[in-house]
Amino acid sequence: MAEFTMELNDEQREVRDWIHGFAADVMRPAAAEWDEREETPWPVIQEAAKIGLYSLDFYAQQFFDPTGLGIPMAMEELFWGDAGIALSIVGTGLAAVGVLANGTEEQIGTWVPQMYGDANDVKVAAFCSSEPDAGSDVASMRTRAVYDEAKDEWVLNGTKTWATNGGIANVHVVVAVVDPELGSKGHASFIIPPNTPGLSQGQKFQKHGIRASHTAEVVLEDVRVPGSCLLGGKEKLDERLARAREKARAGGERVKNAAMATFEASRPAVGAMAVGTARAAYEEALEYAKTREQFGRPIIDNQGVAFQLADMRTQIDAARLLVWRASWMAVTGKPFTSAEGSMSKLFASEVAKKVTAQAVQILGGNGFTREYPVERMHRDAAIYTIFEGTSEIQRLVIARTLSGMPIR
Protein backbone atom coordinates (compact mmCIF):
# COMPACT_ATOMS: atom_id res chain seq x y z
CA MET A 1 0.00 0.00 0.00
CA ALA A 2 1.25 3.49 -0.81
CA GLU A 3 2.62 5.34 2.19
CA PHE A 4 0.96 8.64 3.05
CA THR A 5 2.56 11.18 5.31
CA MET A 6 2.32 14.90 5.82
CA GLU A 7 5.36 15.01 8.03
CA LEU A 8 8.55 16.64 6.78
CA ASN A 9 11.50 14.26 6.88
CA ASP A 10 14.59 14.95 9.01
CA GLU A 11 16.52 16.50 6.15
CA GLN A 12 13.64 18.83 5.22
CA ARG A 13 13.23 19.92 8.83
CA GLU A 14 16.93 20.63 9.07
CA VAL A 15 16.88 22.77 5.91
CA ARG A 16 13.73 24.58 7.03
CA ASP A 17 15.27 25.41 10.43
CA TRP A 18 18.49 26.59 8.79
CA ILE A 19 16.59 28.99 6.49
CA HIS A 20 14.40 30.09 9.38
CA GLY A 21 17.54 30.93 11.36
CA PHE A 22 18.81 33.16 8.55
CA ALA A 23 15.38 34.75 8.14
CA ALA A 24 15.08 35.49 11.87
CA ASP A 25 18.67 36.54 12.60
CA VAL A 26 19.71 38.33 9.39
CA MET A 27 16.64 39.30 7.36
CA ARG A 28 14.22 40.42 10.09
CA PRO A 29 16.61 42.89 11.75
CA ALA A 30 17.45 44.40 8.32
CA ALA A 31 13.88 44.53 6.97
CA ALA A 32 12.73 47.99 8.08
CA GLU A 33 15.98 49.66 6.98
CA TRP A 34 15.95 48.29 3.43
CA ASP A 35 12.23 48.95 3.09
CA GLU A 36 12.92 52.62 3.89
CA ARG A 37 15.98 52.80 1.65
CA GLU A 38 14.10 51.22 -1.27
CA GLU A 39 17.34 49.69 -2.47
CA THR A 40 18.65 46.22 -3.18
CA PRO A 41 20.08 44.87 0.10
CA TRP A 42 23.43 43.78 -1.32
CA PRO A 43 25.02 43.06 2.10
CA VAL A 44 22.16 40.69 2.99
CA ILE A 45 22.41 38.90 -0.36
CA GLN A 46 26.13 38.57 0.28
CA GLU A 47 25.47 37.05 3.71
CA ALA A 48 23.09 34.58 2.05
CA ALA A 49 25.77 33.77 -0.56
CA LYS A 50 28.39 33.17 2.15
CA ILE A 51 26.31 30.42 3.76
CA GLY A 52 25.23 28.93 0.42
CA LEU A 53 21.62 30.13 0.62
CA TYR A 54 22.09 32.43 -2.38
CA SER A 55 23.34 29.90 -4.92
CA LEU A 56 22.15 27.75 -7.76
CA ASP A 57 23.14 24.62 -5.84
CA PHE A 58 20.77 25.41 -3.02
CA TYR A 59 17.77 26.03 -5.29
CA ALA A 60 18.58 23.00 -7.45
CA GLN A 61 18.59 20.82 -4.33
CA GLN A 62 15.21 22.12 -3.24
CA PHE A 63 13.84 21.90 -6.77
CA PHE A 64 14.76 18.22 -7.04
CA ASP A 65 13.32 17.29 -3.63
CA PRO A 66 11.20 14.28 -4.64
CA THR A 67 8.29 15.30 -2.37
CA GLY A 68 7.99 18.68 -4.11
CA LEU A 69 8.06 20.48 -0.77
CA GLY A 70 11.64 21.82 -0.96
CA ILE A 71 10.81 25.01 -2.86
CA PRO A 72 7.57 25.93 -1.04
CA MET A 73 9.25 25.34 2.29
CA ALA A 74 12.22 27.55 1.37
CA MET A 75 9.96 30.29 -0.01
CA GLU A 76 7.72 30.31 3.05
CA GLU A 77 10.65 30.73 5.44
CA LEU A 78 12.42 33.40 3.39
CA PHE A 79 9.24 35.46 2.89
CA TRP A 80 8.42 34.99 6.58
CA GLY A 81 11.75 36.77 7.16
CA ASP A 82 10.94 39.71 4.87
CA ALA A 83 9.23 39.81 1.49
CA GLY A 84 11.29 42.62 -0.08
CA ILE A 85 14.66 41.17 0.92
CA ALA A 86 13.48 37.66 0.05
CA LEU A 87 12.50 38.75 -3.46
CA SER A 88 15.95 40.28 -3.87
CA ILE A 89 17.36 36.88 -2.94
CA VAL A 90 15.07 34.68 -5.05
CA GLY A 91 14.54 37.07 -8.01
CA THR A 92 17.67 35.70 -9.68
CA GLY A 93 16.07 32.25 -9.49
CA LEU A 94 13.26 33.40 -11.84
CA ALA A 95 15.83 34.14 -14.53
CA ALA A 96 17.84 31.02 -13.74
CA VAL A 97 14.73 28.85 -14.11
CA GLY A 98 14.15 30.46 -17.52
CA VAL A 99 17.60 29.22 -18.59
CA LEU A 100 17.30 25.84 -16.87
CA ALA A 101 13.93 25.20 -18.53
CA ASN A 102 14.84 26.26 -22.06
CA GLY A 103 18.63 26.44 -22.31
CA THR A 104 21.17 23.94 -23.60
CA GLU A 105 23.67 22.40 -21.19
CA GLU A 106 26.31 24.79 -22.48
CA GLN A 107 24.06 27.81 -21.94
CA ILE A 108 23.23 26.67 -18.42
CA GLY A 109 26.91 26.14 -17.62
CA THR A 110 27.94 29.51 -19.07
CA TRP A 111 25.22 31.85 -17.85
CA VAL A 112 23.72 30.58 -14.60
CA PRO A 113 26.96 30.96 -12.59
CA GLN A 114 27.25 34.54 -13.91
CA MET A 115 23.74 35.23 -12.62
CA TYR A 116 24.79 34.51 -9.04
CA GLY A 117 28.46 35.58 -9.02
CA ASP A 118 30.19 34.43 -5.83
CA ALA A 119 30.20 35.34 -2.17
CA ASN A 120 32.91 37.98 -2.70
CA ASP A 121 31.23 39.52 -5.72
CA VAL A 122 27.51 38.72 -5.73
CA LYS A 123 25.48 39.34 -8.87
CA VAL A 124 21.75 39.22 -9.61
CA ALA A 125 19.76 38.34 -12.72
CA ALA A 126 16.48 39.60 -14.19
CA PHE A 127 13.67 37.92 -16.09
CA CYS A 128 12.03 40.41 -18.45
CA SER A 129 8.71 39.44 -19.99
CA SER A 130 6.12 42.12 -19.04
CA GLU A 131 5.76 45.25 -21.17
CA PRO A 132 3.81 48.49 -20.75
CA ASP A 133 1.08 47.15 -23.05
CA ALA A 134 1.53 43.45 -22.34
CA GLY A 135 0.91 42.54 -18.70
CA SER A 136 -1.85 39.98 -18.28
CA ASP A 137 -2.14 39.89 -22.06
CA VAL A 138 1.26 38.34 -22.78
CA ALA A 139 0.34 37.69 -26.42
CA SER A 140 0.40 41.42 -27.18
CA MET A 141 4.14 41.62 -26.45
CA ARG A 142 5.98 43.90 -28.89
CA THR A 143 9.69 43.55 -28.11
CA ARG A 144 11.05 42.13 -31.31
CA ALA A 145 14.05 39.88 -31.94
CA VAL A 146 15.21 39.70 -35.55
CA TYR A 147 17.83 37.26 -36.79
CA ASP A 148 20.79 38.71 -38.71
CA GLU A 149 21.87 35.60 -40.57
CA ALA A 150 25.04 37.11 -42.07
CA LYS A 151 26.48 37.78 -38.61
CA ASP A 152 24.66 34.99 -36.74
CA GLU A 153 23.33 37.61 -34.33
CA TRP A 154 19.93 38.49 -32.92
CA VAL A 155 18.89 42.15 -32.77
CA LEU A 156 16.44 43.10 -30.02
CA ASN A 157 14.34 46.26 -29.75
CA GLY A 158 11.60 47.13 -27.28
CA THR A 159 10.77 48.19 -23.73
CA LYS A 160 10.26 45.79 -20.86
CA THR A 161 8.70 46.88 -17.61
CA TRP A 162 8.29 45.70 -14.01
CA ALA A 163 11.50 43.71 -14.25
CA THR A 164 12.71 42.56 -10.84
CA ASN A 165 16.45 43.43 -10.82
CA GLY A 166 16.01 45.06 -14.26
CA GLY A 167 19.02 47.19 -15.22
CA ILE A 168 21.10 46.16 -12.18
CA ALA A 169 21.32 42.52 -13.24
CA ASN A 170 24.54 41.01 -14.52
CA VAL A 171 22.53 38.79 -16.87
CA HIS A 172 19.08 39.62 -18.27
CA VAL A 173 16.78 36.99 -19.74
CA VAL A 174 14.49 38.71 -22.23
CA VAL A 175 11.41 37.25 -23.86
CA ALA A 176 10.82 38.64 -27.35
CA VAL A 177 8.67 38.09 -30.41
CA VAL A 178 10.34 36.12 -33.18
CA ASP A 179 7.18 35.37 -35.17
CA PRO A 180 4.37 37.93 -34.70
CA GLU A 181 1.87 35.68 -36.52
CA LEU A 182 1.95 33.09 -33.73
CA GLY A 183 1.00 35.22 -30.71
CA SER A 184 2.56 33.90 -27.49
CA LYS A 185 3.77 30.79 -29.33
CA GLY A 186 5.98 33.02 -31.48
CA HIS A 187 8.02 34.14 -28.46
CA ALA A 188 11.58 33.12 -27.61
CA SER A 189 13.93 33.84 -24.72
CA PHE A 190 17.36 35.43 -25.03
CA ILE A 191 20.32 35.88 -22.76
CA ILE A 192 21.63 39.42 -22.70
CA PRO A 193 25.22 39.10 -21.43
CA PRO A 194 26.75 41.56 -18.96
CA ASN A 195 27.52 45.04 -20.34
CA THR A 196 25.85 44.48 -23.71
CA PRO A 197 25.54 47.84 -25.53
CA GLY A 198 21.95 49.01 -26.12
CA LEU A 199 20.45 47.63 -22.88
CA SER A 200 19.70 50.29 -20.30
CA GLN A 201 17.59 50.76 -17.21
CA GLY A 202 14.54 52.96 -17.68
CA GLN A 203 12.39 54.16 -14.82
CA LYS A 204 13.00 52.62 -11.42
CA PHE A 205 9.63 52.24 -9.71
CA GLN A 206 8.86 53.55 -6.23
CA LYS A 207 6.54 50.94 -4.85
CA HIS A 208 3.82 50.39 -2.27
CA GLY A 209 5.50 47.24 -0.88
CA ILE A 210 8.46 44.86 -1.31
CA ARG A 211 10.48 48.04 -1.53
CA ALA A 212 13.83 46.32 -0.89
CA SER A 213 13.37 44.60 -4.24
CA HIS A 214 14.47 46.65 -7.25
CA THR A 215 11.82 46.91 -9.99
CA ALA A 216 12.50 48.83 -13.20
CA GLU A 217 11.96 49.24 -16.91
CA VAL A 218 14.54 47.74 -19.23
CA VAL A 219 15.05 49.46 -22.57
CA LEU A 220 16.49 47.54 -25.51
CA GLU A 221 17.81 49.61 -28.41
CA ASP A 222 19.44 47.62 -31.20
CA VAL A 223 20.78 45.17 -28.69
CA ARG A 224 22.92 42.65 -30.59
CA VAL A 225 23.61 39.25 -29.07
CA PRO A 226 25.36 36.25 -30.62
CA GLY A 227 23.21 33.42 -32.00
CA SER A 228 24.36 31.32 -29.05
CA CYS A 229 22.28 33.59 -26.73
CA LEU A 230 18.98 32.26 -28.06
CA LEU A 231 17.88 29.85 -25.34
CA GLY A 232 17.66 26.32 -26.69
CA GLY A 233 19.34 27.24 -30.00
CA LYS A 234 18.10 28.12 -33.48
CA GLU A 235 17.41 24.58 -34.65
CA LYS A 236 15.10 23.90 -31.72
CA LEU A 237 13.38 27.25 -32.22
CA ASP A 238 12.76 26.58 -35.91
CA GLU A 239 11.30 23.15 -35.09
CA ARG A 240 9.11 24.62 -32.37
CA LEU A 241 7.82 27.40 -34.63
CA ALA A 242 7.07 24.90 -37.40
CA ARG A 243 5.13 22.73 -34.94
CA ALA A 244 3.27 25.78 -33.59
CA ARG A 245 2.27 26.85 -37.12
CA GLU A 246 1.00 23.37 -37.84
CA LYS A 247 -0.89 23.12 -34.56
CA ALA A 248 -2.31 26.62 -34.98
CA ARG A 249 -3.82 25.41 -38.25
CA ALA A 250 -5.17 22.32 -36.42
CA GLY A 251 -6.64 24.25 -33.47
CA GLY A 252 -3.58 24.91 -31.25
CA GLU A 253 -4.81 23.05 -28.17
CA ARG A 254 -1.73 20.97 -27.35
CA VAL A 255 0.71 23.89 -27.46
CA LYS A 256 -1.56 25.89 -25.18
CA ASN A 257 -1.73 23.04 -22.68
CA ALA A 258 2.06 22.70 -22.47
CA ALA A 259 2.44 26.39 -21.58
CA MET A 260 -0.37 26.11 -19.04
CA ALA A 261 1.31 23.15 -17.35
CA THR A 262 4.49 25.21 -16.82
CA PHE A 263 2.55 27.98 -15.07
CA GLU A 264 0.64 25.48 -12.96
CA ALA A 265 3.96 24.13 -11.72
CA SER A 266 5.54 27.53 -10.95
CA ARG A 267 2.60 29.33 -9.35
CA PRO A 268 2.60 27.37 -6.06
CA ALA A 269 6.02 28.91 -5.30
CA VAL A 270 4.38 32.34 -5.28
CA GLY A 271 1.60 30.91 -3.11
CA ALA A 272 4.29 29.79 -0.65
CA MET A 273 5.74 33.33 -0.56
CA ALA A 274 2.28 34.63 0.35
CA VAL A 275 1.93 31.99 3.08
CA GLY A 276 5.26 33.19 4.54
CA THR A 277 4.12 36.82 4.76
CA ALA A 278 0.70 35.85 6.12
CA ARG A 279 2.22 33.63 8.79
CA ALA A 280 4.62 36.39 9.85
CA ALA A 281 1.77 38.87 10.31
CA TYR A 282 -0.42 36.33 12.09
CA GLU A 283 2.37 35.53 14.58
CA GLU A 284 2.86 39.23 15.34
CA ALA A 285 -0.88 39.68 15.85
CA LEU A 286 -1.20 36.63 18.10
CA GLU A 287 1.64 37.77 20.33
CA TYR A 288 0.29 41.30 20.50
CA ALA A 289 -3.23 40.14 21.30
CA LYS A 290 -1.95 38.07 24.20
CA THR A 291 0.01 40.94 25.76
CA ARG A 292 -1.95 44.10 24.97
CA GLU A 293 -4.46 44.84 27.70
CA GLN A 294 -7.60 46.93 27.45
CA PHE A 295 -10.56 46.94 29.85
CA GLY A 296 -8.30 45.15 32.35
CA ARG A 297 -7.68 42.03 30.27
CA PRO A 298 -5.66 40.93 27.22
CA ILE A 299 -7.48 41.86 24.02
CA ILE A 300 -7.42 38.18 22.94
CA ASP A 301 -9.87 37.61 25.79
CA ASN A 302 -12.50 39.08 23.47
CA GLN A 303 -14.01 36.62 21.03
CA GLY A 304 -14.02 39.40 18.44
CA VAL A 305 -10.22 39.28 18.45
CA ALA A 306 -9.67 35.60 19.25
CA PHE A 307 -12.01 34.43 16.48
CA GLN A 308 -10.19 36.61 13.96
CA LEU A 309 -6.93 34.92 14.94
CA ALA A 310 -8.59 31.51 14.67
CA ASP A 311 -9.76 32.34 11.14
CA MET A 312 -6.38 33.78 10.18
CA ARG A 313 -4.53 30.64 11.22
CA THR A 314 -7.11 28.34 9.59
CA GLN A 315 -6.80 30.15 6.29
CA ILE A 316 -3.01 30.17 6.39
CA ASP A 317 -2.94 26.41 6.99
CA ALA A 318 -5.50 25.85 4.21
CA ALA A 319 -3.39 27.97 1.85
CA ARG A 320 -0.26 25.98 2.70
CA LEU A 321 -2.07 22.71 2.02
CA LEU A 322 -3.18 23.93 -1.43
CA VAL A 323 0.41 25.02 -2.15
CA TRP A 324 1.85 21.70 -0.99
CA ARG A 325 -0.73 19.74 -3.00
CA ALA A 326 0.09 21.62 -6.20
CA SER A 327 3.85 21.33 -5.59
CA TRP A 328 3.51 17.59 -5.02
CA MET A 329 1.41 17.28 -8.18
CA ALA A 330 4.07 19.14 -10.18
CA VAL A 331 6.95 16.98 -8.99
CA THR A 332 5.05 13.70 -9.40
CA GLY A 333 3.78 14.65 -12.86
CA LYS A 334 0.07 14.64 -11.97
CA PRO A 335 -2.08 16.47 -14.52
CA PHE A 336 -3.50 19.78 -13.29
CA THR A 337 -7.03 18.92 -14.35
CA SER A 338 -8.58 21.62 -12.12
CA ALA A 339 -5.76 24.19 -12.41
CA GLU A 340 -4.62 23.28 -8.90
CA GLY A 341 -1.44 25.39 -9.26
CA SER A 342 -3.47 28.50 -10.05
CA MET A 343 -5.87 27.66 -7.22
CA SER A 344 -3.02 27.59 -4.72
CA LYS A 345 -1.64 30.95 -5.88
CA LEU A 346 -5.08 32.55 -5.95
CA PHE A 347 -6.07 31.38 -2.49
CA ALA A 348 -2.74 31.98 -0.75
CA SER A 349 -2.32 35.48 -2.18
CA GLU A 350 -5.84 36.53 -1.20
CA VAL A 351 -5.29 35.06 2.28
CA ALA A 352 -2.06 37.04 2.66
CA LYS A 353 -3.83 40.29 1.81
CA LYS A 354 -6.68 39.57 4.20
CA VAL A 355 -4.61 38.23 7.08
CA THR A 356 -2.11 41.11 7.00
CA ALA A 357 -5.00 43.60 7.03
CA GLN A 358 -6.48 41.80 10.05
CA ALA A 359 -3.08 41.92 11.76
CA VAL A 360 -2.96 45.71 11.29
CA GLN A 361 -6.42 45.92 12.85
CA ILE A 362 -5.49 43.76 15.84
CA LEU A 363 -2.47 45.97 16.57
CA GLY A 364 -4.72 49.04 16.48
CA GLY A 365 -2.83 52.35 16.21
CA ASN A 366 0.48 50.53 16.51
CA GLY A 367 -0.42 48.40 13.49
CA PHE A 368 -0.72 51.59 11.48
CA THR A 369 2.83 52.71 12.23
CA ARG A 370 6.21 51.72 10.89
CA GLU A 371 7.28 50.95 14.45
CA TYR A 372 5.61 47.56 14.03
CA PRO A 373 6.33 45.17 11.14
CA VAL A 374 2.70 44.35 10.28
CA GLU A 375 2.38 47.69 8.51
CA ARG A 376 5.17 46.66 6.12
CA MET A 377 3.83 43.10 5.79
CA HIS A 378 0.43 44.47 4.81
CA ARG A 379 2.00 46.62 2.08
CA ASP A 380 4.18 43.72 0.93
CA ALA A 381 1.24 41.29 0.74
CA ALA A 382 -0.46 43.39 -1.94
CA ILE A 383 2.02 42.14 -4.56
CA TYR A 384 0.94 38.50 -4.40
CA THR A 385 -2.43 39.09 -6.06
CA ILE A 386 -0.67 41.01 -8.86
CA PHE A 387 2.53 39.37 -10.08
CA GLU A 388 2.85 35.95 -11.73
CA GLY A 389 -0.71 36.41 -12.95
CA THR A 390 -3.27 38.55 -11.11
CA SER A 391 -6.07 36.98 -9.05
CA GLU A 392 -8.47 37.69 -11.91
CA ILE A 393 -6.23 35.84 -14.35
CA GLN A 394 -5.97 32.89 -11.93
CA ARG A 395 -9.78 32.77 -11.74
CA LEU A 396 -9.96 32.90 -15.52
CA VAL A 397 -7.53 29.98 -15.81
CA ILE A 398 -9.37 27.94 -13.18
CA ALA A 399 -12.80 28.64 -14.68
CA ARG A 400 -11.61 27.79 -18.20
CA THR A 401 -9.98 24.58 -16.98
CA LEU A 402 -13.04 23.48 -15.03
CA SER A 403 -15.55 24.33 -17.72
CA GLY A 404 -13.57 23.76 -20.90
CA MET A 405 -15.24 26.98 -22.09
CA PRO A 406 -13.41 30.03 -23.51
CA ILE A 407 -14.57 32.27 -20.64
CA ARG A 408 -13.53 35.92 -21.03
Ligand X SMILES: Cc1cc2nc3c(=O)[nH]c(=O)nc-3n(C[C@H](O)[C@H](O)[C@H](O)COP(=O)(O)OP(=O)(O)OC[C@H]3O[C@@H](n4cnc5c(N)ncnc54)[C@H](O)[C@@H]3O)c2cc1C
Binding site for ligand X (CB under 6 A): 94, 127-130, 135-136, 162-164, 207, 210, 215, 383, 386-388, 390, 392-393, 396
The CA distance from 357 to 381, in Å, is 9
388 belongs to the catalytic site: yes
Residue 245 vs 400, nearer CB to ligand X: 400
Which of these, 83, 71, 141, lies nearest to 386 by C-alpha position? 83
Residue 179 burial by CB count (10 A; 0-12/13-18/19+): exposed, middle or buried?
A: middle
Residue 130 or 327: the one with the smaller Cβ distance to ligand X is: 130
Least distance in Å: CB of 389 to ligand X? Answer: 6
Cβ proximity to ligand X, 308 vs 344, nearer residue:
344
How do strand 121-122 and strand 117-118 relate by DSSP bridges? Answer: antiparallel
Nearest distance in Å: CB 184, ligand X? 13
DSSP string, 205-236: PP-SS-TTS-EEEEEEEEEEEEGGGBTT-HHH
Residues 6+ apart with CB under 8 A from 160: 128, 129, 130, 131, 143, 166, 174, 217, 218, 219, 220
Q: Which is nearer to ligand X, 68 or 166 (by Cβ)?
A: 166
Helix or strand holding residue 253 (H, E): helix 253-291
Q: Which amino acid is at 287?
A: E
Active-site residue, selected from the candidate residues 14, 36, 388, 392 = 388
Selection from 109, 207, 193 nearest residue 156 by Cα: 193
Smallest distance, ligand X to C-beta of residue 93, A: 11
Catalytic residues: 388
